[in-house]
Amino acid sequence: MALNRTSLPRTAEAVALAELRDAIVRGDLAPGAPIRQSAAAAELGLSVIPVREALKTLAGEGIVTYVPQRGYTVTELSPDSVDGIFRLRELLEGEAEQDAAARLRPEDVAAMRAALNDQRAAVDAADVAGVIAGNRRFHFALLERCDNEWLLRFVRQLWEALEPHRALSYRRAAAAGDTDRAEAILAEHEAIVTAFEHDDAPAALHLLAEHRRGGSADFHRLLSGSAPTV
Query: pLDDT by residue (tens digit) across 29-67?
Result: 888 899 999 999 999 999 999 999 999 999 988 889 998
Produce one character per residue of 63-102: b if its CB has 16 or more CB atoms within 10 Å, e if not. bbbeeeeeebbbbebeeebbeebbeebeebbeebbebbbe
Residue 4's pLDDT is 40
Q: 7-74 maps to which CATH number?
A: 1.10.10.10
Residue 114's pLDDT is 98
Cα–Cα distance list, 147 to 83, 95, 96 (Å): 27, 11, 8
Q: Rounded mean pLDDT of 164-169? A: 78
Name the pTM for this structure: 0.80
The domain spans of the chain are 7-74, 79-224
Residue 217's pLDDT is 84
Could you give the CA distance from residue 230 to residue 215 in angstroms, rounded to a whole number?
5
pLDDT surpassing 50 at residue 185: yes
Residue 88's pLDDT is 94
Query: pLDDT by residue (tens digit) across 7-27?
Result: 444 589 999 998 998 888 777
Confidence of residue 6 (pLDDT cuts 50, 70, 90): very low
Confidence of residue 227 (pLDDT cuts 50, 70, 90): very low
Q: Does domain 79-224 have CATH number 1.20.120.530?
A: yes
Q: Rounded mean pLDDT of 168-196? A: 85
- Tell me if 173 sits within 8 A of 182, measured CB to CB: yes
Query: pLDDT by residue (tens digit) across 73-128?
Result: 998 888 888 889 999 999 999 999 999 999 999 999 999 999 999 999 999 988 88
**153 or 69, higher pLDDT:** 153
Spacing of C-alpha 203 from chain mean position: 24
Q: State whether residue 68 is helix, strand or coil.
A: coil
For 66, residues 6+ apart whose C-beta sits below 8 A from its C-beta are 55, 56, 59, 72
